[in-house]
Structure 1
Amino acid sequence: MFSSRRRIGGQGPDNSWPGFVDALSTLLLVIIFLLSMFVLAQFFLGQALSGREQALTELRGQVAQLGNLLRLEQQASASLRTSMAELSSSLTSANADRDNLSAQLDTAQQSLAQTRSSLAEITAARDALAMRAGELEQQYNLSSSELDEERLLSARAREQVNVLEQNVTALREQLSRLESALQSSEERDRRSQAVIVDMGRRLNRALASKVEELAGYRSEFFGRLKEVLSTRPEIRIEGDRFVFASELLFASGQAELGPEGRAEMRKFAETLIAISQEIPSDLPWILRVDGHTDRRPIATAAYASNWELSSARAISVVRFLVSAGVAPERLAAAGFGEFQPLDPAENVFAYSRNRRIEMRLTQR
């Protein structure tokens, strides 16, 4: 580093400080710093070495103490071995004594068990004797009370025998009077029986004539309805009943008659009213409306099962016929659910056949 100083205001002598002097001073400061660090390092190293020597001295003292303790432990171990040998011999003799005592204890326990068994048998025998004595005492008391009751009953029986003898005498007199009355009653019964037999024959003939008459009106009823409803393939005649397909009358899962079903039921009602006017009023006929469903289960808010749905459909048809002018006392509704199928198969055609309304003219 170079520095120069000049006088202000003119030329003068050159007073510049040589640059090597600054370099030497810097080098001297570095050397002094290094010497200081070396001295400090020597000082701390000496301190560390002196601490290690002190620790080594302490360790040597501890090793000496441990050696002393080891010698003491060896001496104690030798004495313990001696004590163990003595205890082992004592234990051997104690085990022999214990075995002897165990054998004696087993013998005593067997004797005690036998004694307890004998005592239990004696106690059971005593309890049985006490129970038997109690039963004998109860039987004696019961026999005594029964004997007293028998004596009392015997006295009452004697009194009742006397009363019964008197009653028997009176009954014999009444029996003789009843026999004579019975003979006269039997004669009257024979005459009445002949009258009843004759009335039964007349009644059977009258019922047969009524049945034949109803059968004739049923034939006429089926003949007229067949003419009226023959154009619809959904309406079938099976045996003595008309079968209406549910699809013709109701929507799926419903029990209200649709427009097409009302039209068919109106035709049916007109024919039924016309025929009922020709049937004598004393003939006990009714039109039974049966509702049937297929076997698939139903569970809705309105109908919990097929029973309710089939019954509701039959009732709906009956109500419509009543509104169309059919006498309600000539109508009956029944619901059979899925339990009387026409076709037991499991397909859509069988389901369609089984969903139906059947109408049958019958007697009450």
Structure 2
Amino acid sequence: MMGGRRRGMQAPDSSWPGFVDALSSLLLVIIFLLSMFVLSQFFLGQAITGRDQALAELRGQVAQLGNLLKLEQQANSTLRTSMTDLAASLNVANADRDKISADLDALRSAFTVSDTRLAEMTAARERFEADAADLTEKFGLSAAALSEEQVLSRRAQAQVIQLQNNITALREQLARLSNALDASDERDRRNQAVIVDMGRRLNRALASKVQELAGYRSEFFGRLKEVLSTRPEIRIEGDRFVFASELLFASASAELGPVGRAEMRKFAETLVSISKEIPGELPWILRVDGHTDKRPISNALFKSNWELSSARAISVVEFLIEAGVPASRLAAAGFGEHQPIDPADNIFAYGRNRRIEMRLTQR
């Protein structure tokens, strides 16, 4: 029994040191995880800061494009204001002409009434003269009666003369009004000719700019056909160059791959060469449109096909800017899956709908 007590006193309790080691290991793991979390937050903040700077630059470029558009709109507004003023002058001249025409009609009516009264007075005078002659012949009126009739006849003649003078004055006034109406018609014709001439000159200028841009667009398409005709992934549909997304980007990515960068470099070199030949006053722009298929996407970078298509279009625009294309001549747009070329529901239709379209157009 004494030996058992000695053995009990000699055996130490080892549970406490093992618990301390476990806690120390757990604490080291937690410190390591917190360090990794802090590092990831730091790198993530750096990436977000770089994107904010790029977004600010793009906003500045959009503001510049907006200012240029406002200048063009002001010029168009000035032309429209000039045409509106001329149209208002024409309306005023038409109103004056209508008023003169109304006055002329009133004078013609008065002239007709005067002619009627003159005819009545003339007929009355003739009746008076006939009656006087009859009375003289039949009854032998006295000299006093005959003198009275003569007085009446002279009065009637005076009234006829006055009416004739009034008619003459009315005719002169009618002639003046007719001359004024002719002058107003001549002003109307001149104003109308000016408006027609301005419209023709504006249409000729617009048609000339459109034809000139169409000529450069044809040359641009011809050169790009020669440069890019070896790639089956590049198609020409109407007035657009269509690049298959598989040629430029990896799946669910907006970063240009090596093959895509090589093709975009050829495209940029051709565009820079053509842009040097296009006059600076032509308002041309290269629009880059991003499209996806209708299968939904949701990952850490892109929450929807809208974001993926827009990011791909912006990536192409940024590469073209780096290759020397002026930023003021570029525009990027994303359409997601909402403008498909092929509405079918199979992998071939999906491949055709995933694309980047480029179009040379006006602002």
Compute the TM-score of the two structures, normalised by the length of structure 2.
Answer: 0.48
Name which structure has the greater RCO, CA cutoff 8 Å, separation 6+. Answer: 2
Which has the greater radius of gyration?
Answer: 1
